[in-house]
Amino acid sequence: MVEKKLSNKTKFWLTIAFIIFIGFLLWLADRYFDDYKLRVLRLIAIYGVMAVSLNLINGITGVFSLGHAGFILVGAYTASLLTLSPEQKAMSYLFGIQPWIEKLHADFFTATIAGGIAAAIFAFLIGWPVLRLSGDYLAIASLGFAEVVRIWANNALSITNGPLGLKAIPEYSNTWWTYGWLLATVVFIASLVNSSYGRALKAIRENRIAAEAMGINVFKHQLMSFVIGAFFAGVSGSLYAHWLTTIDPRLTTMGPMLTFYVLIMIVLGGLGSITGAIIGAAIFAILFEWLRDLEQPFSFFGIQVPGIPGMRILTVSAIFIIVMIFWQRGIMGREELTWDNLIKWSRKLASLSRKRGEG
Amino acid sequence: MGYSPGTFFLQNLFNATMLGGLYALIAVGYTMVYGILRLINFAHGDIMMMGVYFAFYAATIIYAPPLLAAIIAIAGAAGLGFLIDRVAYKPLRNAPRISALITAIGMSFFLESFAVVVFGAIPKSFLDVFKDKTILNKVLLVGGARIPLLTFLVILITAGIFVVLFWIVYKTKIGMAMRAISMDIPTTSLMGINVDMVIGFTFALGSALAAASGVMWAMRFPNVYPYMGFMPGMKAFIAAVVGGIGSIPGAIIGGLLLGFIEIFAVAYFPNFSGYRDAFAFIILIIILLIKPSGILGKKAIEKV
């Protein structure tokens, strides 16, 4: 049977229509959802940006970086320092503040871009040493750099306010900003992946030495992917900070735990798939909120169970290990949710059900 | 500081040796597992944490004396290490290496959150283990420096454990099997050695050492909490890499080196004491850039 493929033009308009449709749904949600549901909805988009950017580094380029929380932290602090008003900063810095930081002020969009750029510069600097390593060593070194940044944020009192963190960050991350940035991230990274650069990145993932032999500059491409991934991680950090409204450099908030969460998302969605990363982010955000009930007192077949803190993370890590052992490819594997694939899968489904009907 | 430079140095020398020895004990577990499976057992530091909790509860619930509590901790951790290998890592032996690494990261967070749920997130004092606290407070005078007796004990016990470890690895049959597996797994299994059993034993041995280190760690720094294994675990891994991963003497050298740098850097540059935890990572990065195979490691050649 000849596969009938859609023309590029049709696909383009279908995509536009799909985005408008999602936009309409978001508009409805923005109007009718209560505050709590809206916050979860926005969190999905923020996690989406984190997951798609980590997926570019880990899934598509095959550079197993564990430094994502470091990039997120750099973006979050840079952006928050810009959006906080000088009066607010003067109030929360108990140990004094660098005068030039106190004066800085910018609107949310500029601050977010600045957060992304700061994270990208940081990635560029650490990329030189880190990307000379490979495999496990790279994972540890990137985790190490993220930790060094976190420890720095914990100690540089006059810049980051140390362990007290930043408080009263304005809650700018509304539905439009978060989903707008998610769209921008996906469009940018998807076009990168589909370009010749993307093919080079995938070649590096499959076989570094072979890619090098074909004339691909491995280091340059990896660095590019690392820096772009870090830029969007920084952006997500800004969105996250303006969603949380308080940030601090603790191990559990902006430390390895956050990298671990993002890693769960992309592994669940399928390492190497952009749409998978978004699906993984959505599932993770919803599951994590839904599991909140586990930490409340509840009755189980008439037995009163007291609320146990930590149950959420325990359940999530158990699910994660089970996924890794039994279902390594995740939901999407390396496939993408494209119009062509949708048609192919629906045909397969139709022929399957036809066969079942005949048999 | 009230000390002459000589006593100040001596004081720090003892502290550094002790801390370095504790890192080395944990590092050996990383290096043995990595030598065999090429896997960073991310959960290793958390096994140490579980060991400390085992000792704590053995002492506070069944009123075990400290020595028995330590033995329970070591045995419990060994069993846990064996179990983790069987449940989480064994199914992934033939999967891509990165899958096993991700599972190990998951295992680490599983153990941490397990400790939060079962033992509670509030830090506990390990001193509750001892009914008789006189031994903890005893101080010896060495060349003018006041060294806690505990520091001596920890250094001596650590040295003793290493002697036993070398005996196991270089003089017994199971040690020979371990060394054979680290060279070539398929050939070893053709020689009639039960590879899975030996790998399980390696995990158990490494975990037992981590628990021993953890119990001594908690005696010196008596704050017990679910995330206590993270930093020592990371640093011990770095020690293993610095010394040359896969090499047991390398892990000991790396551990001591890390302990010395950490203690002396803070002692002579007190302004940087907040960055104490960052030193290890900076050393790691420098070592990886200069000599990625570590001090005693062999240069690995990537085959196409």
Picking from B121, B158, B116, B133, the residue whose alpha carbon sits closest to that of residue B23 is: B158
**Contacting residues for B34 by C-beta, under 8 A, at least 6 apart:** B40, B41, B240, B245, B246
Question: To the nearest whole number, what is the mean pLDDT of chain A?
Answer: 86
Helices (H), B38-148: 44-61, 66-84, 97-119, 134-137
Domain extent at residue B147? 5-290
Picking from A15, A55, A62, the residue whose alpha carbon sits closest to that of residue A263 is: A55
Instruction: Measure A309 CA to nearest chain B CA, in Å.
Output: 6
Q: Check residues A182 and A291 and name the one with the higher pLDDT.
A: A182
Flag whether residue A2 sits within 8 Å of chain B, measured between CB atoms.
no
Structure tokens at A2: 């000849």
User: Phi and psi of B167, rounded to 5°?
Assistant: -60, -45
Would residue B303 count as lying in a domain? no
Q: Which of A64, A148, A256 is closest, CB to CB, to B98?
A: A64
Residue found by looking up tokens 């993270």 in the block:
B230
The reported pLDDT for the residue numbered B214 is: 93
Instruction: Measure B9 CA to nearest chain A CA, in Å.
Output: 27
Residues A151, A158: contact at Cβ < 8 Å?
A: no
Percentage of chain A modeled with pLDDT above 70: 95
- Give the amino acid at A47: Y
Side-chain-side CA neighbours of residue A78 (13 Å): 28
Picking from B195, B194, B214, the residue whose alpha carbon sits closest to that of residue B206 is: B214
User: Phi and psi of B127, rounded to 5°?
Assistant: -65, -20
The reported pLDDT for the residue numbered A186 is: 93
Angle between helices A135-155 and A108-130 (to 10 degrees): 130
Distance (Å, whole) CA A238 – CA A73? 9
Burial class of B220 by CB neighbour count within 10 A (0 to 12, 13 to 18, 19+): middle
Would residue B96 count as lying in a domain? yes
Q: What is the pLDDT of residues A147-173, one digit of tens each?
A: 889 988 888 888 888 888 888 888 888
Burial class of B290 by CB neighbour count within 10 A (0 to 12, 13 to 18, 19+): exposed
Would residue B304 count as lying in a domain? no
Flag whether residue B37 sits within 8 Å of chain A, measured between CB atoms.
no
CB-CB under 8 Å, A256 with B285: no
What SS3 class is residue B142? Answer: strand
Q: Which residue of B has its CA nearest to A327?
A: B99
Structural domain tally of chain B? Answer: 1
Q: Check residues B97 and A114 and name the one with the higher pLDDT.
A: A114
Instruction: Measure B6 CA to nearest chain A CA, in Å.
Output: 31
The reported pLDDT for the residue numbered A164 is: 83
User: Phi and psi of B223, rounded to 5°?
Assistant: -100, 115
Helices (H), A208-338: 208-213, 218-244, 256-269, 274-290, 311-326
A·B CB contacts under 8 A: 112
The reported pLDDT for the residue numbered A236 is: 95
Residues A140, A254: contact at Cβ < 8 Å?
A: no
The reported pLDDT for the residue numbered A29 is: 86
Q: Give pTM, 2 decimals.
A: 0.86
Structural domain tally of chain A? Answer: 1
Flag whether residue B234 sits within 8 Å of chain A, measured between CB atoms.
yes
Residue found by looking up tokens 């601090």 in the block:
A248
Residues in chain B with CB shorter than 8 Å from the CB of A130 are 285
**Contacting residues for B155 by C-beta, under 8 A, at least 6 apart:** B14, B17, B18, B21
Residues B21, B259: contact at Cβ < 8 Å?
A: yes
B147: β partners = B140
The reported pLDDT for the residue numbered B256 is: 93
Q: Which residue of B has its CA nearest to A147?
A: B278
Mean local confidence (pLDDT), A19-25:
89
Burial class of A281 by CB neighbour count within 10 A (0 to 12, 13 to 18, 19+): buried
The reported pLDDT for the residue numbered B95 is: 80
Start-to-end Cα distance in chain B: 59
Instruction: Measure B113 CA to nearest chain A CA, in Å.
Output: 5
Would residue A32 count as lying in a domain? yes
Would residue A1 count as lying in a domain? no
Would residue B302 count as lying in a domain? no
Would residue B299 count as lying in a domain? no
Would residue A71 count as lying in a domain? yes
Structure tokens at B154: 């920890």
Confidence band, pLDDT 50/70/90 cuts, at residue A144: confident
The reported pLDDT for the residue numbered A240 is: 93
Residue A3's alpha-carbon distances to A102, A144, A354, B292, in angstroms, are 62, 49, 18, 51
CB-CB under 8 Å, B113 with A313: yes
Flag whether residue A317 sits within 8 Å of chain B, measured between CB atoms.
yes
Distance (Å, whole) CA B219 – CA B290? 36
Would residue B70 count as lying in a domain? yes
The reported pLDDT for the residue numbered B300 is: 59
CB-CB under 8 Å, B97 with A135: yes
Confidence band, pLDDT 50/70/90 cuts, at residue A302: low
Q: For the CA atoms of chain B, what is the radius of gyration?
A: 19
Q: Which of B98, B110, B284 is closest, CB to CB, to A141?
A: B284
A105 DSSP 8-state letter: -
Q: Which residue of A has its CA nearest to B237?
A: A140
User: Phi and psi of B293, rounded to 5°?
Assistant: -85, -5
Which of A134-138, A141-145, A278-282 is most confident?
A278-282
Q: What is the pLDDT of residues A67-109, one digit of tens each?
A: 999 999 999 999 999 998 887 777 777 777 777 777 788 888 9
CB-CB under 8 Å, B238 with A136: no
10-residue mean pLDDT profile of chain B (304 residues): values are 75 90 92 87 92 91 86 94 92 82 89 88 82 74 80 91 93 90 87 90 94 91 88 89 87 92 86 79 80 73 54
Q: Which residue of B has its CA nearest to A141?
A: B285
Distance (Å, whole) CA B104 – CA B106? 5
Residues in chain B with CB shorter than 8 Å from the CB of A133 are 288, 292
Candidates B285, B286, B299, partner chain A, best to mutate (most A CBs within 10 A):
B285
Distance (Å, whole) CA A279 – CA A181? 16
The CB-based long-range contact list for A155-160 (8 Å cut-off, 24+ gap) reads A155/B274, A155/B275, A157/A93, A157/A95, A157/A96, A158/A93, A158/A95, A158/A96, A158/A97, A158/A98, A158/A101, A159/A97, A159/A98, A159/A101, A160/A77, A160/A249
Flag whether residue B282 sits within 8 Å of chain A, measured between CB atoms.
yes
Instruction: Measure A210 CA to nearest chain B CA, in Å.
Output: 8
CB-CB under 8 Å, B113 with A314: yes
CB-CB under 8 Å, B109 with A260: yes
> Judged by CB atoms within 8 Å, which residues 150-179 of B form the interface with A?
none
| Residue A3 pLDDT exceeds 60 | no
CB-CB under 8 Å, A320 with B274: no
CB-CB under 8 Å, B114 with A144: no
Residue found by looking up tokens 């039994």 in the block:
A326
Domain extent at residue A185? 13-295+307-348
Mean local confidence (pLDDT), A43-63:
92
Would residue B38 count as lying in a domain? yes
Q: Which of B103, B230, B237 is closest, CB to CB, to A324?
A: B103
Flag whether residue B285 sits within 8 Å of chain A, measured between CB atoms.
yes
Confidence band, pLDDT 50/70/90 cuts, at residue A281: very high
Q: Which of B106, B121, B284 is closest, CB to CB, to A310?
A: B121
CATH of the domain at A159: 1.10.3470
| Residue A264 pLDDT exceeds 70 | yes
CB-CB under 8 Å, B281 with A148: yes
> Judged by CB atoms within 8 Å, which residues 110-129 of A form the interface with B?
129
Distance (Å, whole) CA B23 – CA A59? 33
**Contacting residues for B142 by C-beta, under 8 A, at least 6 apart:** B10, B14
Q: Which of B40, B102, B121 is closest, CB to CB, to A309?
A: B121
Distance (Å, whole) CA A346 – CA A3? 13
Measured on CA atoms in the order B130, B133, B137, B142, is the torsion positive or negative?
negative
Q: Which of A135, A141, A151 is closest, CB to CB, to B277?
A: A151
Residues in chain A with CB shorter than 8 Å from the CB of B238 are 140, 144
- Give the amino acid at A46: I
Q: Check residues A284 and A309 and name the one with the higher pLDDT.
A: A284
| Residue A301 pLDDT exceeds 70 | no
Instruction: Measure A43 CA to nearest chain B CA, in Å.
Output: 22
